[in-house]
Structure 1
Amino acid sequence: MVHNYVQIDPKDNIIVAIDSLPKNTFIDIAGKTFTLAEDIQQKHKFALQDFNTGDEVFMYGVLVGTAIQSIKQGAAITTENLKHASASFNANQEKFNWTAPDVSKFKNRTFNGFHRADGSVGTRNYWLVIPLTFCENRNLDVLEGALLDVLGYQTKKDFAVNTQILIDKYKAGASPEELFNTDIVATQEEIHKNRLFPNVDGIKFLKHDGGCGGIRQDSETLCHLLAGYITNANVAGATIFSLGCQNAQIEMLQKAIEDRDPNFAKPIHYLEQQQSQSERHLIEEAVKHTFIGLTQVNTIERKPAPISKLILGLECGGSDGFSGISANPALGYASDLLTALGGSPVLSEFPELNGVEQELVNRCEQKEDAEKFASIMKTYAAKAVAVGSGFENNPSPGNIKDGLITDAMKSAGAAKKGGTSPVTDVLDYTEKVTKAGLNLLCTPGNDVESTTGLAGSGCNIIVFTTGLGTPTGNPIAPVLKMSSNTTLSEKMNDLIDINAGTVISGEDTIETMGEKVLEYIIQVANGEIDAKAELKGQNDFIPWKRGISL
């Protein structure tokens, strides 16, 4: 994109400003010529035509709002003159055809992953420590303190400070000058080399505030989510803490694991505090079980696996006015490439599919999936309205400031992450990905609740597009941050893994950027590259209690 304004779809009657445009700028687009009626900020939109109150406004070729006052041609589109509106939909499908992209560049490509007994392949090899109730969170803190540093899993920053070196030198009689000149900082690469268990990528502690209180369904959902993490291909084994009297019982978790994997074979250890002699004995037993488990899973080594074993979570957050024209469609093209290679991309955040439902219904291969998707969307929307916060309340202040002023406008751009391929399965929250091709997964639009859900349904890697920036990560799935604009990539380089701003500048097309994204995904899946979120220990984990969350 080299022009300083663009019409995304021929049906659109509003135009996106690629650069800030001053009043009276001459515009020549879509067969119309006019001058801007006012200054237009970068990423914001202006009217291609005159609008009367009640007129429909289109972007990305879909309805994104209606005018709530007259808007002159060349005037800015704002929250003062536009309100949310989206197209109606039903489960009746219209004809859909898909032409798969050329995947010759990736034919016969593999990645080196961790092969599991159920046939899945992990991009990482983690041990989990999980409480069945928030009452056990403190015990996780104790176990974390006992294991992480001594085993070499300091992952809070891109480096670690080893004060023990100074202590040892001081005890040996070193002078202040010698102490000052001693190198006590190690990079993550150096830390990895010194790990006792080199084939284990880390121990992850999934603290949460659930498992008891609330309603029984909350605990059932939590157990299904935790079972999803334990059976995720990126996980080798787990230590489970139970108090004993909570709603989320051990048997409930075991049943959820069996439902997902009847032949479950990973090492897992259950510890119930109310049956233990003391807290000391509980922690001692947990440390020993975990350590022995680590010795077992350290024997698993990376081996080649086909690209079809990748389950790719598609996520966005902190979106801006460029997200839907650079990062999201580029990720969508990578998603289409993966689909054509037999992999499983997963599109989540159902509140951010508002307005594009009919397109996704049409793309469902099975009638029952079209009906399931339509039903989940209508139920979700009705529940949001019932508590006084419909989908139209989805855009955040940051979204609006950067040009995404209605939910339908935001959603139409967000849905581009899912590419153009057929939908092979529709999943409710915590349901497991079992089919190749594009899956739709019901999660909230909340970034962490959604990424938590993606990993819980089996994603072994996630790409997270952003226009404003976010540090979000996940305990078990590498989360790659992809910026929609180069300014963000340069400003937050410590958080951003991939820059799609080159699409805006014209250095890349959607297709070339999509190929670069898939290539980067393969390198991360190989273990050649750590996601920035991994290096910073960004282990965000927030289970959704199925209340209304936008």
Structure 2
Amino acid sequence: MKVNKTLRLDSADNVAVALTDLQPGELVSPPKAPTQGAHPEAESAASAIMLEIREQIPMMHKVAVTAISQGDTITKFGQVIGVAAVDILPGSHVHYHNCVLEGLPANFGSSTDAVMAKVPTTPANQRFFRGFRRANGRVGTRNFIGILTSVNCSATVAKQIAAAFSHPAVLQDYPNVDGVIALTHESGCGMRAAGEGFDALTRTLEGYVTHPNFGGVLMVGLGCETMQVQGFLSRAGLQDSATFSSFNIQEVGGTRAAIEKGVERVKTLLTAVNAQSRQQCPLAELTLAVQCGGSDGFSGITANPALGVAADLLVQHGGNVIYSETPEIFGAEHLLKARAVNADVAAKLSERIDWWQAYTRANGFELNNNPSPGNKAGGLSTILEKSLGAQAKGGTSPLTDVLLYAEQRKTRGLVFMDSPGYDPVSVTGQVASGANIIGFTTGRGSAFGFKPVPCFKLSSNTRVYDFMKDDIDINCGTIIDGEQTLTEVGAEIFEAIIAIASGEQTKSETLGYGDSEFCPWKIGAVV
């Protein structure tokens, strides 16, 4: 008889997580997280109660540890994740077939009006990394030349310019340049010249044109689009310089002339960008974007909280963290509000949730369209369960602000940026807001990278790490395996952040990911 095949995450939970595939007739004893102040002997006695498995339950999925009556709430992480659609017997599989949102109490979240203003203590042994300090004082973790477009119509020209510098031999005389990349998009015209969509694209482009991971930037327009290059530059307070250049295809004589002109401009930029070199910088200059994709039932137990530990360490050293994906905090927003530094920040988060409720209604779907099929195969049943696990990526630091999509970070520490849950769109906004390193957790496996910002990936389980070692940087499944503690893995991630920010290549960088993932959020009608 083996007693460590399941894990009960909170003493209030009526489900446990299967740590391995469970078969009908097996006897297990769900180890329970100790209740604060409880007598150890009482906890030991509770864990000794044997549970008979009634049906096949895949690893990472949930098993009922008590009888749950139809209409009763189902709890995991000590929080409500759904309602029982039918009577559920102990030892039964709990998933989307019997765990639903219909009938959810209006006050299912732990309501609180309290705000938290605790300032993390900066460690005495301040840490540093080696980054590229720009003329405006900001610091990059990479040194790319970026070719950006105002509109989809100039995408081909931008790609052709970048292609002229794609062979390694072309850049061999410029060892400090990480590459020349074209970031193109599908918008810039067929849109209103005002409103949410235009403002979001403007913020995104401005965030990239000025991003410290670009040592130099060339911006290419067509000439007749809604997102006029000169108008954009005027609003952003930008002008041509030794490290920034722009032109329109229609004004230089068409496609061939534009490509030739662009190639010459980039050749000029190469000298200036190569003159930049790494120097010692405090961790206060780092801004970490935290993301998850292809989550599973272990994500909220291993990879997400481990990344949260590293995020807290970075904040303690004066650094910054951007957490996002608004649809994936639905059901867990009360936990973030409780960490807001003041009532105004908590109210801003509520405003974004309200916006999303209206946005999804207007488009004929619900926030619970999430989880995805892959999430469900990995044991996640409802958006509440997914959100409660996802929010752990943000650690425990105070929430200092809530940003609009691609809005520049104005406060230090942990901030939340409004975005969809679609990873490329969300990360695009985080980078525009100032992120210069990305931590990406996955349970099902992820193929993702994001130039010009290095992206490191963390697996929630050992199975996917062993199967996708070329893609995943750190295995957090060692926590479930009993080989490392959450604190130890968090510390390992923190050290990786410093090394990657200083130039160490991530798996996604060695595979060449990052040219195609730039994906600004398109809000509003295309006409």
Q: Distance in 1 between matches of 2:50 and 2:115?
A: 36
Deviation at 1:93, TM superposition (A): 2.3
Which residue number in structure 1 is paired with residue 394 of structure 2? 418
Contact kept in structure 1, 2:116 and 2:341, CA below 8 Å: no
Per-residue deviation at 1:256? 4.8
Cα distance in 1 between the residues matched to 2:259 and 2:378: 49
| Aligned 1:331-370 pairs, distance under 5 A | 331-370=307-346
Of the three residues 422, 435, 452, the one matched with 1:446 is 422
For residues 58-85 of structure 1, give each alpha carbon's deviation from its aligned partner in whole angstroms, at most 9, with x where no partner exists. 1112111001111111110021111135
The whole-number CA distance in structure 2 between the counterparts of 1:499 and 1:152 is 36
Partner of 1:46: 63
**SS of equivalent to 2:416:** strand
Match of 1:205 in 2: 182
Alignment of 1:64-213 (within 5 A): 64-84=81-101, 85=104, 93-94=113-114, 96=116, 103=123, 107-149=125-167, 152=170, 195-213=172-190
Matched residue SS, 2:500? helix
Contact 2:80 2:108 in 1 (8 A): no
Partner residue of 2:276? 300
Q: Given the alignment, which residue of 225, 233, 239 partners 1:254?
A: 233
Query: 3-state SS of the aligned residue for 2:131?
Result: strand
Please list the CA deviations of residues 217-257 of structure 1 after superposition, one character each: whole Å capped at 9, or x if unmatched. Answer: 43432222011012122111211111111000113421453
Aligned equivalents of 1:101 and 1:502: distance in 2?
Answer: 29
List aligned pairs for 1:227-266, cutoff 5 A: 227-258=206-237
Residue 503 of structure 1: aligned partner:
479
Q: What is the rounded CA distance, in whole Å, between the counterparts of 2:73 and 2:253 in structure 1?
A: 69
Which segments of 5 or more consecutive residues in structure 2 lack a partner in the other structure? 33-45
For structure 1, the residue ranges without an aligned partner over 5 or more in a row are 154-194
**Cα gap change, 1:255 to 1:323, in 2 (>3 Å):** farther
Of 291, 296, 309, 2:267 maps to: 291
Q: 1:474 to 1:252 in 2, by over 3 A?
A: farther
1:204 and 1:356 mapped to 2: Cα distance? 38
Instruction: Quote the offset at 1:151 in angstroms.
Output: 5.0
Query: How many angstroms apart in 2 are the aligned matches of 1:468 and 1:201?
Result: 30
2:300 counterpart residue number: 324
- Measured after TM superposition, the shift of residue 278 of structure 1 is 3.9
The CA deviation at 1:288 is 1.2
Partner secondary structure for residue 338 of structure 2: helix
SS of structure 2 residue aligned to 1:236? strand
Shift of 1:301: 0.6
Against the structure 1 CA distance between its residues 256 and 235, is the aligned structure 2 distance closer, same or farther, given a 3 Å change threshold?
farther
In structure 2, the CA distance between the partners of 1:101 and 1:486, relative to structure 1 (3 Å rule), is farther
2:357 to 381, 384, 397: 381
The answer to whether 1:477 aligns with 2:458 is no
Shift of 1:118: 2.5
Return closer, same or farther for 1:266/1:394 CA change in 2, 3 Å cut-off.
farther
Contact 2:191/2:226 (8 A) holds in 1 = no
- 1:68 maps to a residue whose letter is A
**1:6 maps to what in 2?**
7
Instruction: Decide whether aligned partners of structure 1 residues 335 and 263 sit closer, same or farther in structure 2, where only a CA change above 3 A counts.
Output: farther
Give 1:196 shift: 2.0
CA offsets 1:13-68 (integer angstroms, 9 cap, x no match) = 11000111222222334524331222221000011211111111111121110011
Residue by residue, what CA displacement relative to the aligned partner does 1:407-448 show, whole Å, maximum 9, x if unpaired? 110110011001111001111101112322111111111111
Q: Distance in 2 between matches of 1:13 and 1:52?
A: 11
The letter of the residue matching 2:141 is T
- Name the CA distance, whole Å, in 1 between partners of 2:50 and 2:241: 67
Aligned to 1:269: 245
Name the Cα RMSD after superposition.
2.2
Q: 1:496 to 1:41 in 2, by over 3 A?
A: same
Q: SS where residue 298 of structure 2 aligns?
A: coil
Question: 1:141–1:264: structure 2 CA closer, same or farther, 3 Å change rule?
Answer: closer
CA distance in 2, matches of 1:33, 1:343: 46
Q: Deviations over 1:105-136 (max 9, x none)?
A: xx222100000223221110111101111111
Distance in 2, matches of 1:289 and 1:74, equals 67
CA distance in 1, matches of 2:69, 2:524: 38
What is residue 19 of structure 1 aligned with on the other side? 20
Note the C-alpha offset of 1:281. 2.6
**Which whole-Å CA distance do the structure 2 matches of 1:124 and 1:50 have between them?**
54
Cα 1:243/1:511, change in 2 over 3 Å: same
Task: Tell me if structure 2 keeps the 8 A contact 1:448–1:542.
Answer: yes
Q: How big is each residue's C-alpha offset from its partner over 1:513-535, in whole Å with a ceiling of 9 and x where there is no partner? A: 000001011111111x2111112
1:362 Cα deviation (Å)?
1.4
Match of 2:512 among 517, 537, 548: 537
**Using the alignment, how far apart are the partners of 1:256 and 1:466 within structure 2?**
38
Contact 2:150/2:221 (<8 A) preserved: yes
Partner-residue secondary structure (3-state), 1:148: coil
- Show CA shifts across 1:173-228 (max 9, x none): xxxxxxxxxxxxxxxxxxxxxx2211111111011111001333434322220110
Which of 203, 214, 217 matches 1:224?
203
Evaluate the alpha carbon distance shift between residue 278 and residue 441 of structure 1 in structure 2; reply closer, same or farther with a 3 A threshold.
Answer: closer
Q: In the alignment, is the contact (CA less than 8 A) between 2:6 and 2:29 conserved in 1?
A: no
DSSP 3-state at the match of 1:403: coil
Q: Structure 1 CA distance, aligned partners of 2:471 and 2:521?
A: 25
Q: Distance in 2 between matches of 1:475 and 1:407?
A: 30
| SS at structure 1 position matched to 2:28 | strand
Equivalent residue for 1:171?
none
What CA distance in whole angstroms lies between the structure 2 residues aligned with 1:93 and 1:294? 53
Query: Alignment partner of 2:350: what SS?
Result: helix
C-alpha distance in 2 between matches for 1:16 and 1:92: 28
**In 2, Cα distance between equivalents of 1:231 and 1:312:** 17
Of 465, 470, 483, the residue aligned with 1:489 is: 465
Question: Are the aligned partners of 1:312 and 1:459 in contact in 2 as well (CA < 8 Å)?
Answer: yes
> What is the distance in 1 between the residues matched to 2:119 and 2:462?
31
Verify the 8 A CA contact 1:143 1:287 in the aligned structure 2.
yes
- Post-superposition shift, 1:388? 2.4
Contact 1:101 1:336 in 2 (8 A): no
Cα separation, 2, equivalents of 1:547 and 1:47: 44
Question: 2:5·2:19 contact (CA, 8 Å) conserved in 1?
Answer: yes
- 8 Å CA contact retained: 2:233, 2:239: no
Give the TM-score of the pair, scaled to structure 1: 0.87
Secondary structure of 1:11's partner? coil
